[in-house]
Amino acid sequence: MSRIRGALIGCGFFARNQLHAWEGIEGVEIVAICDRDETRLSETGEAFGIARRYTDAERMFEEGGFDFVDIATTVAAHRPLVEMAARAGDGAGVHVICQKPFAENMEDARAMVAAIDATGKTLMVHENFRWQSAVRAAIETLRGGAIGTPFFGRVSFRSGYDVFSGQPYLAEGARFIIEDLGIHILDISRALFGDVARISATTTRINPEIRGEDVATMLLAHESGVTSVVDCSYATRRTPETFPETLLEIDGTGGTLRLDAGYRLTIQARGGEEVRDVAPPVLPWAERPWHNIQESVALIQQHFIACLCDGRAPETSGADNLRTLALVEAAYLSAAEGRTVALAEL
Ligand code: NAD
Ligand code: 89V
């Protein structure tokens, strides 16, 4: 593929990371942007030098001139926008990269996957936490067999960081931590240990100022036989504050792997110990402590473009992400009904 042209919808809090990352990928150009909010639209257009600006996504698709669309809106707009992308160019469609959470429910998610499937275009969910370089180092080490066959894992994200000032909508929804953050951590568990047969979960709300749950503890029985604990909290005040690090403890038949605070990866196997500094770089446009997430945005977008060029499915394709989304739904169902939920129920 020669020059690849993209359009981005949703010029909000997170989109600037995506636009910076696109700027860093050779051969890619964002030729149009869209937001219903004119102020955000013009500020973003000015900041990134993008002249084609739309307040109406339908019009942007009608005028076309791009190969893929990057959907960076919050979840309620995802299904209509993905379906618009499928109808674009008289049904030829365009490739799609869509932010997490992909959909509000399984029915919408399946319809979105089917709509893009029918066009033969690529659909990737921007599920970037498994692309964080520290997490990736752990995934590659495990897949390389360094600690033998895993049988236990803990995938943990605990923080007291104020996420609500940058993303006020996170305080307003009936659902919070599993849908917004747990979705990433559940996806990391899938990337490490494979698909899940059963899950049980508890949730609670500690912060009285928000509507949804801010603590979730989940027990996953993977099809591979691994048991993992996925625990998430935005009510944990401790030092060091580790936002936005995911910490790991994995036991295998031949040793153990830990990813500790400060991006320190420790592998103990065959009577020896290796400690590696796997801290992510701070990209020129990034800022601490978000640099970890920001680098993963660059990496997942590079992966998307590599997949388009090679004609292969992205790791977090729409079809793959249905299984992460099903885990989210199953966790809420388990917490509400106080029982273990089989993923086959979803
Ligand atoms: P935001 O509310 O700051 O921005 C969303 C923008 O989309 C707004 O400017 C809004 O006007 C615009 N918009 C909504 N519907 C639209 C439509 N139909 N047409 C045109 N514009 C529309 O939200 P945000 O914090 O930037 O989050 C966006 C998405 O990114 C969410 O799904 C969130 O979960 C996700 N997110 C992902 C990560 C990550 O690491 N992957 C981090 C933060 C946020
Ligand atoms: O990555 C995210 O989806 C963000 C945050 C890290 C704050 O949970 O919303």
First to last CA, the chain: 38
Ligand 1 mean position, distance from CA 182 (Å): 18
Question: Does a structural domain hold residue 304?
Answer: no
For residues 171 and 282, state if they share a domain.
Answer: yes
Q: Which ligand has the minimum distance to the alpha carbon of residue 244?
A: 2
pLDDT at 15: 98
Query: Could you give the ipTM of this predicted complex?
Result: 0.99
Find residue 158's DSSP bridge partners: 233
Question: Does a structural domain hold residue 279?
Answer: yes
Domain of residue 190, CATH code? 3.30.360.10
Residue 155: partners with Cβ closer than 8 Å, 6 or more residues away = 185, 188, 189, 192, 228, 229, 230, 231, 246, 247, 248
**Exposed/middle/buried for 184, CB within 10 Å: 0-12, 13-18, 19+?**
buried
Positive or negative: CA dihedral 338, 340, 343, 344: negative
Which residue type is seen at 149? T
Q: Which ligand has the minimum distance to the alpha carbon of residue 168?
A: 1
> Is the C-beta atom of 180 inside 6 A of ligand 2?
yes
For residues 231 and 250, state if they share a domain.
Answer: yes
pLDDT at 142: 98
CA dihedral 182, 184, 188, 190 (to 10 degrees): 80
What is the atom index within ligand 2 of the atom nearest the CA of 163? 7
Question: Does a structural domain hold residue 309?
Answer: no
The bridge status of strand 150-158 relative to strand 227-233 is parallel
Residue having the nearest C-alpha atom to atom 20 of ligand 1: 35
Q: How many domains does the chain have?
A: 2
d(CA 294, CA 283) in angstroms, rounded, equals 8
Question: Does a structural domain hold residue 183?
Answer: yes
Domain of residue 75, CATH code? 3.40.50.720
For residues 159 and 279, state if they share a domain.
Answer: yes
Nearest to 93 by CA among 115, 60, 111: 115
For residues 109 and 137, state if they share a domain.
Answer: no
Taking only Cα atoms into account, the Rg of the chain, rounded to an integer number of angstroms, comes to 20
Domain that holds residue 339: 130-287+323-345
Which residue type is seen at 321? N
Ligand 2 mean position, distance from CA 164 (Å): 10
Task: Count the neighbouring beta carbons within 10 Å of the beta carbon of residue 110.
Answer: 15
> Is the C-beta atom of 245 inside 6 A of ligand 2?
no
The structure tokens 């500020």 sit at 43
Ligand 2 mean position, distance from CA 180 (Å): 6
For residues 137 and 116, state if they share a domain.
Answer: no
The phi and psi torsions of 53 (rounded to 5 degrees) equal -130, 140
Question: Does a structural domain hold residue 303?
Answer: no
What is the atom index within ligand 2 of the atom nearest the CA of 128? 1
> Is the C-beta atom of 170 inside 6 A of ligand 1?
no
> Is the C-beta atom of 110 inside 6 A of ligand 1?
no
Q: Decide which of 121, 141, 162 is a domain's last residue.
A: 121
pLDDT at 2: 78
Which residue type is seen at 295? E
For residues 34 and 105, state if they share a domain.
Answer: yes
Q: What is the DSSP string of 14-58?
A: THHHHHHHHHTSTTEEEEEEE-S-HHHHHHHHHHHT--EEES-HH
Q: Decide which of 121, 156, 173 is a domain's last residue.
A: 121
Q: Decide which of 59, 86, 121 is a domain's last residue.
A: 121
For residues 192 and 268, state if they share a domain.
Answer: yes
Residue having the nearest C-alpha atom to atom 43 of ligand 1: 14
> Is the C-beta atom of 75 inside 6 A of ligand 1?
yes
6 is written with which tokens?
Answer: 């993209």
Question: Does a structural domain hold residue 195?
Answer: yes
For residues 92 and 177, state if they share a domain.
Answer: no
Q: Which ligand has the minimum distance to the alpha carbon of residue 75?
A: 1
d(CA 170, CA 164) in angstroms, rounded, equals 6
For residues 91 and 149, state if they share a domain.
Answer: no
Question: Does a structural domain hold residue 311?
Answer: no
Ligand 1 mean position, distance from CA 206 (Å): 26
Question: Does a structural domain hold residue 81?
Answer: yes
What is the atom index within ligand 1 of the atom nearest the CA of 81? 18
For residues 148 and 108, state if they share a domain.
Answer: no
Task: Count the neighbouring beta carbons within 10 Å of the beta carbon of residue 230.
Answer: 28
For residues 110 and 135, state if they share a domain.
Answer: no
For residues 137 and 282, state if they share a domain.
Answer: yes
Is 117 strand, coil or helix?
helix
pLDDT in tens, 30-65: 999 999 999 999 999 999 999 999 999 999 999 999
Ligand 1 mean position, distance from CA 290 (Å): 17
d(CA 147, CA 149) in angstroms, rounded, equals 7
Is 237 strand, coil or helix?
coil
> Is the C-beta atom of 35 inside 6 A of ligand 1?
yes
Is 215 strand, coil or helix?
strand
Residue having the nearest C-alpha atom to atom 39 of ligand 1: 128
Residue having the nearest C-alpha atom to atom 14 of ligand 1: 73
Q: What is the mean pLDDT of each run of 10 residues along the chain (346 residues)?
A: 92 98 98 98 98 98 98 98 98 98 98 98 98 98 98 99 98 98 99 98 98 99 98 97 98 98 98 98 98 98 98 98 98 98 97
Is 112 strand, coil or helix?
helix
d(CA 218, CA 228) in angstroms, rounded, equals 8
pLDDT at 188: 99
pLDDT in tens, 213-259: 999 999 999 999 999 999 999 999 999 999 999 999 999 999 999 99
> Is the C-beta atom of 181 inside 6 A of ligand 2?
yes
The structure tokens 């799609």 sit at 96
